Amino acid sequence: MRAGAGNFGREEMLEGISFAHKNHVKVYVAINIYAHNEDLETLPEYLDFLAQIGVDAVIASDPGIIDTVKRVQPCLPIHLSTQANSTNWASAAFWRRIGLERVVLARELSLKEIEVIASRVNIELEAFVHGAMCMSYSGRCLLSNHLTGRDANRGDCAQSCRWRYFLVEEKRPGQYFPVEEDARGTYFMSSKDLCLIEYIPTWPKPVYPALK
């Protein structure tokens, strides 16, 4: 999906970052694909460009990419992407030791689990609060790749888990069993969207719901 989006060109990135910084807003650039060898060829030059235009951090998941950032642009802060499936405090401690500034946690964690990680490891934590959840673990999924050739792990998911699927008994081809989850149909492979709006603190007086 990200690969298919009308992404920013380099001039636009430069303009966007200077606009954001003028308005005291930080800009993080996601380079969180699981890279194949050929993806690495242009990475150092791209990292030089990102450092030059002043991005505030990159978000990465592939250890090869993380290592390349540290080697090529050691001053560029790195946030661990949610796609790296960090689900426990020992994992967060590992990424801290490697020198990452922040861990964007796996979306599969409960609030209690996040609280334990926060209490045990001194690293910035970020958690998703809204949006589509991948059916497979943290988006490490081959469904889109298998059905369309579009690789979800390189930013090109076709959201195949959200297509409509039917149940068919092998001896009755063409007969679709009417299994329904709601009036619109059945989505065997699609998970419920994440919606934690109630957990976002209100202003000026933060109110946090009790941990369940």
Q: Please report, as ranges, the residues that interact with ligand SF4 according to CB under 6 A.
A: 134-136, 139, 141, 143-144, 152, 157, 159-161
> E strands within 51-151?
57-60, 78-80, 102-104, 124-126, 130-131
Measured from the CB of residue 164, what is the shortest distance to ligand SF4 in angstroms? 13
Distance, CA of 47 to CA of 31 (rounded, Å): 10
User: Which residues are paired to 9 by β-bridges?
Assistant: none
Q: What are phi and psi of 55, to 5 degrees?
A: -60, 150
Distance, CA of 26 to CA of 20 (rounded, Å): 6
Measured from the CB of residue 62, what is the shortest distance to ligand SF4 in angstroms? 16
CB 49, CB 58: distance < 8 Å: no
Nearer to ligand SF4, 66 or 134 (CB): 134
Measured from the CB of residue 144, what is the shortest distance to ligand SF4 in angstroms? 4
Distance, CA of 88 to CA of 86 (rounded, Å): 6
Nearer to ligand SF4, 55 or 161 (CB): 161
Measured from the CB of residue 90, what is the shortest distance to ligand SF4 in angstroms? 26
Q: What are phi and psi of 182, to 5 degrees?
A: -150, 180
Nearer to ligand SF4, 21 or 162 (CB): 162
Distance, CA of 93 to CA of 80 (rounded, Å): 12
In degrees, rounded to 5, the angle at the alpha carbon of residue 108 between the alpha carbons of residues 207 and 208 is 5
Measured from the CB of residue 181, what is the shortest distance to ligand SF4 in angstroms? 16
Measured from the CB of residue 133, what is the shortest distance to ligand SF4 in angstroms? 8
Q: What are phi and psi of 126, to 5 degrees?
A: -130, 140
> E strands within 132-178?
none
Nearer to ligand SF4, 88 or 145 (CB): 145
Nearer to ligand SF4, 131 or 206 (CB): 131
